[in-house]
Amino acid sequence: MEVLGRLLGMLAVLLVGAGLRSTGALNATRTARLNAAAYYVALPALVFVGTYDQSIADLLSAELFVGSLIVLFATGTIAWIASRDRLSTDRRSVAIIQSYHSNLGYLGLPLVAATFDARVTAIASVLLGFVTLVQLPLTIVVLSSFGRADTDIGRELAALATNPVLLALLAGLAVGSVGATFPDGVAAGLDALGSLALPLALLCVGAALQIDADAVELEAVGSIVALKLCCMPLLAWAVFSALSVDGATFTAGVVMFGMPTAVSTYVYASELGGDAEFASLNVFATTVASVGSLFVLITLLG
């Protein structure tokens, strides 16, 4: 019941964000400030605290790396096949990217940190880092290939070099590799900042969600929800089981890949020629439905 309560609390904060946006209390400027606080402060602090006292050799295994790539590309391939001849070009590109592009940073890592132990959180931080390096470029390439908008792919990819989450991950792993220690007060302060990542992120996600009831296509939306919340974590379960990874790696991999579609896919779809309304609807649907699917996953994983 504790897990269910936590997930329902997550949904409640998400809906509060949506409600504050609808009343005008959380306007675009305030949402941008909250987003900046989560993206540049709270989430990097969470990543750093989760990795600075861990050795990279103990966290990053070949099985985790290979298994994650298999899950990512297998899900995208299934979505590409499933959407062929069923959706328009701008919707097909969105369907493909939203099947695999998970909300690992804003929801995945904070939820793992709030639910599991330090080792699972550290592995989830590493997974967040290298999967981001794969799924972001892949999303840009897919949308650019299908879309009609002109974009500088090189510029979009170069932005990864200044990604604060990746920089925090590299810093944490570097500190962990040399065995440096921090005063208790500093570590506690960073831990407190990291604990703000989930509520801040949920408010931002809620404020960004938009839904047009007239634009709902239940079959199309349902297929994306099924791919993202059922197919992808089941693939992760099968792949990591076949690779015989340890329990912490298995838990981190399955839960992280069970996250809903990232809100950033809506932004990329808007910029790169995808169907933005369709993308927003899918983000909303997968985020709300993930409360049930994550409850099942976390309960099964103990």
Backbone angles phi, psi at 87, to 5 degrees: -125, 155
Q: For residue 207, give Cα distances in angstroms to 21, 32, 110, 261.
A: 5, 10, 18, 16
- Residue 161 is predicted with a pLDDT of 72
Asked whether residue 93 is domain-assigned, the answer is yes
CB 297 within 8 A of CB 233: yes
pLDDT of 230:
95
For the stretch 250-301, pLDDT in tens is 999 999 999 999 877 877 787 777 777 788 788 888 988 988 899 899 989 8
Q: Mean pLDDT per segment of 10 residues, for the chain of length 302 residues?
A: 71 84 85 81 80 70 92 95 82 91 85 88 87 83 70 64 77 76 77 79 74 68 93 96 94 94 79 77 86 90 82
Beta bridge pairs of residue 102: 261
Q: What is the pLDDT of residue 216?
A: 62
- In this structure, is residue 83 part of a structural domain? yes
* Res 103: pLDDT: 87
- The domain tally of the chain equals 1
- Which pLDDT score, from 0 to 100, does residue 10 have? 75
pLDDT reported for residue 212 = 62
Using CA atoms, how far apart are residues 187 and 226, in angstroms rounded to an integer? 40
pTM over 0.85: no
Residue 26 region, left (φ>0) first, then alpha (ψ -120 to 50), else beta?
Answer: beta
301 in any annotated domain: no
Residue type, 235: L
| Three state DSSP letters for 3-51 | HHHHHHHHHHHHHHHHHHHHHCCCCHHHHHHHHHHHHHHHHHHHHHHHH
- Nearest Cα residue to 125 out of 195, 43, 10: 43
Q: Find the distance separating the first CA and the last CA of the chain, reported in whole Å.
A: 12
Does residue 229 lie in a domain region? yes
Q: What is the CATH number of the domain that holds 70?
A: 1.20.1530
CA distances to 16, 172, 192, 211, 239 from 59, rounded to whole Å, are: 36, 12, 23, 39, 18
Instruction: Give residue 152's pLDDT.
Output: 59
pLDDT at 226: 95
What is residue 153's predicted lDDT score, i.e. its pLDDT? Answer: 60
Q: Please tell me the predicted confidence (pLDDT) of residue 61.
A: 84
Q: What angle do CA 259, 193, 188 make, to 5 degrees?
A: 120
Residue 136 domain-assigned (yes or no): yes
Decide if 302 is inside a domain: no
- 9: domain range? 2-296
Q: Return the number of other C-beta atoms located less than 10 Å from residue 5's C-beta.
A: 9
Report if residue 101 sits inside a domain.
Answer: yes
Q: What's the DSSP call for residue 181?
A: -
In-domain check, residue 233: yes
Task: Tell me what pLDDT residue 225 has.
Answer: 94
